[in-house]
């Protein structure tokens, strides 16, 4: 019998099951991830991803950006990709930086590139490292959930991205163990993070008036994001209604 045709959503599925043990590539990737997080903690890089540090060095950041705009954009995107791919803290601060340095609109676009690329890397890593193991352990219990999620994956993920109550890094990792296709994941992520990115980038233009990042995510802003997330589920609800109505 010939080899089965791969399902289009089975992107980056490694050969060999968990029973065969982890490959050298998986162990190497795990070491790289651990080293990245370890270096971040060892050098206490979180101190540079704070509102106080941003305010202290804002003149230097702005002067460098004005002199070397292209390099500043490239460096910022690279930092954002690393921060997101390694699931490190500081995304909100980096988005404020983008707004302060590049403006609300341009900053939102630049953040979108870095955040989407970094989130996709985190998603692929989670899929490569964890999905086979989870399916081998919980495959039967997750089968119906996987099937339902894959049918409406774009809308479900878009809702999770629009509502900032769900941690960004956690959505990246959990999505990796589902059967959502890479294309749908990238599209839902890129679209879903636009409103939140714009709010923080716009706030970055008024950096001097911000005393806490928590001030930006006011109850009214969170409510607006929640309503947007609910709207993203309307097609899913409609399809289920039609399905039930037609028996």
Query: Dihedral, CA atoms, 159, 164, 165, 170, nearest 10 degrees?
Result: 80
> How many whole angstroms separate alpha carbon 149 and alpha carbon 144?
9
Stretch 18-28: mean pLDDT, rounded? Answer: 75
pLDDT of residue 243: 67
Task: Count CB neighbours of 10 within 10 A.
Answer: 11
Contacts of 54 (CB under 8 A, 6+ apart): 61, 93, 96, 97, 100, 207
Q: What does the DSSP 8-state code read for residue 86? A: T
Rg (CA), the chain: 20
Q: Do residues 99 and 202 make contact, with C-beta atoms less than 8 angstroms apart?
A: yes
pLDDT of residue 11: 44
> How many whole angstroms separate alpha carbon 239 and alpha carbon 231?
14
Kindly state the percentage of the chain with pLDDT values over 90: 57
Stretch 132-138: mean pLDDT, rounded? Answer: 76
Strand (E) or helix (H) holding 188: helix 182-192
Q: Do residues 197 and 115 make contact, with C-beta atoms less than 8 angstroms apart?
A: yes
Q: Is the pLDDT of residue 199 over 70?
A: yes
Average pLDDT score, the chain:
85
For residues 113 and 10, the model is more confident at 113
pLDDT-derived band at 144, boundaries 50, 70, 90 = low
């Amino acid at each position: 019998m010939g080899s089965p045709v791969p399902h289009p959503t089975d992107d980056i599925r490694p050969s060999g099951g968990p029973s065969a043990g982890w490959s050298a590539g998986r162990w190497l990737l795990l070491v790289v991830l651990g080293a990245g997080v370890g270096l971040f903690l060892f050098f206490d890089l979180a101190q540079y991803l704070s509102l106080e540090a941003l305010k202290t060095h804002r003149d230097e950041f702005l002067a460098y950006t004005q002199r070397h705009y292209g390099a500043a954009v490239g460096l910022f995107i690279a930092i954002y990709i690393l921060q997101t791919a390694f699931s490190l803290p500081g995304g909100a601060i980096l988005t404020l930086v983008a707004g302060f340095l590049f403006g609300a609109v341009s900053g939102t676009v630049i953040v979108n590139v870095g955040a989407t690329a970094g989130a996709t890397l985190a998603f692929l890593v989670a899929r490569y490292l964890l999905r086979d193991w989870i399916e081998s352990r919980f495959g039967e219990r997750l089968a119906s959930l996987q099937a339902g999620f894959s049918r409406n994956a774009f809308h479900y993920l878009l809702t999770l991205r629009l509502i900032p109550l769900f941690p960004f890094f956690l959505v990246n990792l959990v999505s990796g163990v589902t059967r959502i296709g890479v294309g749908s994941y990238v599209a839902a992520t890129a679209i879903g993070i636009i409103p939140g990115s714009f709010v923080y980038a716009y706030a970055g233009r008024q950096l001097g008036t911000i005393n806490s990042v928590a001030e930006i995510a006011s109850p009214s802003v969170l409510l607006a994001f929640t309503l947007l997330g609910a709207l993203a589920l309307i097609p899913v609800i409609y399809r289920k209604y039609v399905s039930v109505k037609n028996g």
